[in-house]
Amino acid sequence: MTSLNKIDVAILGLGGMGQTHVKAAKDSPYVNKIYGYEPKLDRAMSRGKELGIESTSDLNKILNNSLIKLVYIAAINEAHAELTEKALRAGKAVMCEKPMGINIKEAKQMLDAANQTGQFLQIGFELHYSKIYTLAKEWIDKELIGSVINCHCRYYCSEFHLKNTWRSKSKGTLIGEKLSHYIDLQRWFIGSPAEEVFSMSAPNVIYYFNHPDNHQINIRFKNGAISNLNFSMFIGESDTKNPNDPLMEMLTKQSDDGHFLQYHIFGTKGAIETDVFRRRIRRWQFSDSSKHMISKIVETVTYSPDDDMEWIHNTYGQNIRISELVAKGLPPDNPATDSFETMKVGFAAEISEQEKRIVKTNEIV
């Protein structure tokens, strides 16, 4: 039996997301040794000890180590472009968390570096690996709902980025930091290039945010389909889990306290609903009768709380898969060129809000 080709990997940024990357790397059958990086020595040493990996504050020790084949970037958003380009030009494969830069210049910088070096680059849009969405895509690809012509996403949550954190003070917006996931899914489901974007945001409720806390993003696609993303992060109750009630499970409470994360995907022959807080995906079938069109729910799939991450935010599965791709010398599942198109839509939405006009994606160059 042939042994697996194992690689050494490094995680740049050892915060909460970096910890997720470390766990996946430890569990991956394709990973040999794991290195960590933080720019401050004290934090690099303390986090390395906590996570049980060798860590450093000297980035060159990572970049010059020829045994390290794959770098996971989980640093703050403002560092994504610089770290990605340095790692690619040092001959590393790179998986970088979204956003793909905080502006179009940085996104293009990352894409150019990948194209010029021929190195592996995949952006962390892990919803492509999350079962509730891969099942929706499977139904779409089987043409069970006909051609997708409309896609709505309703995303309401509580404020969870906290005062005086890099996220609340970020130069970029929540469109890149968070909503790019859900724009990316709309592009994936509809399967046509986005051509026009019109987005609006109201005055902030969360006064200490350095960027809008709400967005209404509308997209028109080349094939005539449209999509809408309705987002706010202030209506959901903040205390999402009662620590004194061991029977109160988090998503169960959130499902009735103002939190929503739903897609409604409308096709010419049916529709799909994904509902994170109800742990459910449903499919409708449209048919004709002598009196009117008939709509009927024909398929419902649910899952248990134990399977939440695999179904709704499968970062863990994505990261193990990427280590497999790099170890086997395979290309990314989701090319950086496609992620760049998602980021273009996000940047167009930011311009649309600032200039109060429809923005064509071909303006974003």
User: In this predicted model, what pLDDT tens digit does every residue of 181-197 receive, in sequence order?
Assistant: 999 999 999 999 999 99
Sheet holding 226-232, edge to edge: 294-302, 280-287, 270-275, 260-267, 148-156, 226-232, 214-221, 194-200, 359-360
Q: Distance (Å, rounded) from C-alpha 107 to C-alpha 342?
A: 11
Q: For the purposes of burial, counting CB atoms within 10 Å of the CB of 354, is it exposed (0-12), middle (13-18) or buried (19 or more)?
A: exposed
- For the chain, the structural domain boundaries read 7-123, 127-312+344-360
According to CATH, the topology of domain 7-123 is: Rossmann fold (3.40.50)
Q: Is 293 helix (H, G, I), strand (E, B) or coil?
A: coil
Per-residue pLDDT at 248: 52
C-alpha dihedral sign at 151, 154, 160, 164: positive
Q: How many CB atoms lie within 10 A of CB 65?
A: 16
**pLDDT per residue as tens, the chain (365 positions):** 456 789 999 999 999 899 999 999 999 999 999 999 999 999 999 999 999 999 999 999 999 999 999 999 999 989 999 999 999 999 999 999 999 998 999 999 999 999 999 999 999 999 999 999 999 999 999 999 999 999 999 999 988 788 888 778 777 788 998 999 999 999 999 999 999 999 999 999 999 998 899 999 999 999 999 999 999 999 988 865 554 555 556 777 777 788 999 999 999 999 999 999 999 999 999 999 999 999 999 999 999 999 999 999 999 999 999 999 999 999 999 999 999 999 999 999 999 999 999 999 999 97
Q: Give the domain 127-312+344-360 fold.
A: Dihydrodipicolinate Reductase; domain 2 (3.30.360)
Give the rounded distance of the alpha carbon of 273 from its chain centre: 19
Residue-wise pLDDT tens digits, 269-302: 999 999 999 999 999 999 999 999 999 999 999 9
Q: What phi and psi values does residue 34 have, to the nearest 5 degrees?
A: -120, 130
Percent of the chain topping pLDDT 70? 96
pTM of the predicted protein model:
0.92
354's CB contacts (< 8 A; 6+ apart) are: none
